[in-house]
Each structure stands twice: as C-alpha cells, then as structure tokens.
Amino acid sequence: MSTGTLLAIVIPVVVVVALIALAVALLMRRRRLRERFGPEYERTVEGADNRFAAERELSERSKRHADLDIKPLPDSARDRFSRDWDSVQQEFVDRPEDAVHDADRLVTSLMQARGYPTEGFDQQMKDLSVEHGRTLGHYRAAHEIDTLSIGHQATTEQLRSAMVHYRALFDELLSDGGQTRHAPA
C-alpha cells in the first residue's frame, strides 16, 4: 500500500474517532449539568440563544460557585434561624405582607450566613442554582409574590403560597450545611 493510500484511510478514521470522542464528551457534560442543576438546566436552555451558550453559562456558574466560601452553619446559628422562622410564621396571622417581606429578608440573611453573596436577586438565583436548582423555582415564585405585595397586589392566598415557597428554600439552606461540595462541571 502506498503512503498516500494509507493516509487516505488513516486520516478519515482519526477524524471520525475524534468527532465521536467529542460528541461523547459533550453528552456526558450535558448529563452532568442536567443532574446538577435539575429544572434550572431546562430553564437556562430555554432562555439562552442555544444549548451550548446555556451550558457554558451553567459551567461558569459552577466555577464561580466553587470559589465561594459556602459553609455549614453552627448549631447555635441554625437554632437561631429556626426560631426566627417560627416568629415570621407567627407574624403571618396578623400581618401577612410584612411576614412575607420578613421571610424574604430571613432567607437572604441565611444565604449570607452560609457564605452566598447577596448582591442582587439575579445573582442570588445563579449562585443558588448550582446546589439548590431543585428548589430554585420556589424562591423565584416567592420573590414574585413578594414583589406583588410591595404594591399591595397579592392576595392572602398568594402570600400564604409565598411563605410555603420561602420555607422550601429556607429548609434546604438550613439543613444543607453538612453536604459535600460538588466539583465544577
């Protein structure tokens, strides 16, 4: 066999193998991101120009999150936050709008105590999405109702729903201190 014929066979085989390896790597990355981000994966893909841009965004979130100093709460802080939540729930009976605002502030305070930056809602959502993607919908829904309540446009049922949504994220943040950190995707 001549060198030209051999190269004509080897080069396409190498290219095909490289393309297969790339496709497998991309599929594995996609699977890891889906598992890690849960429903937030699909939400990010829907809001992006394309799947690759969304996956790049999620990978960047993972890298940023890896640089954060997320830490477990000491038992004393966990107990204090639990007592504060009980107070907020009791407040709901007489002042539901105030209770929802206080629940929002308490969740933000808990995030900060755990080591999450709290410089803005959008960034909070991105930072939380890495480890709390499955409860992020609760936080988003609660925040929307809280925003409605600022203009006194939320019904009592919506305010009650906001408390339930805040509680889902609050419980996860409160109890999540002992879980291990994930490696960046």
pLDDT digits (tens, 9 = 90+) for 129-154: 999 988 899 999 999 999 999 999 99
Nearest to 152 by CA among 91, 93, 96: 96
Residue 181: pLDDT over 60: no
Residue percentage of the chain with pLDDT more than 90? 69
pLDDT at 175: 87
Cβ atoms 85, 170 nearer than 8 A: yes
Residue 158: pLDDT over 80: yes
* Band of pLDDT at residue 19, cut at 50, 70 and 90: very high
What pTM value is reported for the model?
0.77
pLDDT at 171: 95
pLDDT at 185: 44
Query: Residues 40-62: what's their mean pLDDT?
Result: 90
pLDDT at 4: 87
17-20-24-29 Cα dihedral, nearest 10 degrees = 100
pLDDT at 183: 42
**How many Å apart are CA 176 and CA 170, to the nearest integer?**
10
CA–CA distances in Å: residue 147 to residues 104, 108, 133, 141, 180: 10, 15, 21, 10, 33
pLDDT digits (tens, 9 = 90+) for 164-176: 999 999 999 998 6
* Band of pLDDT at residue 119, cut at 50, 70 and 90: confident
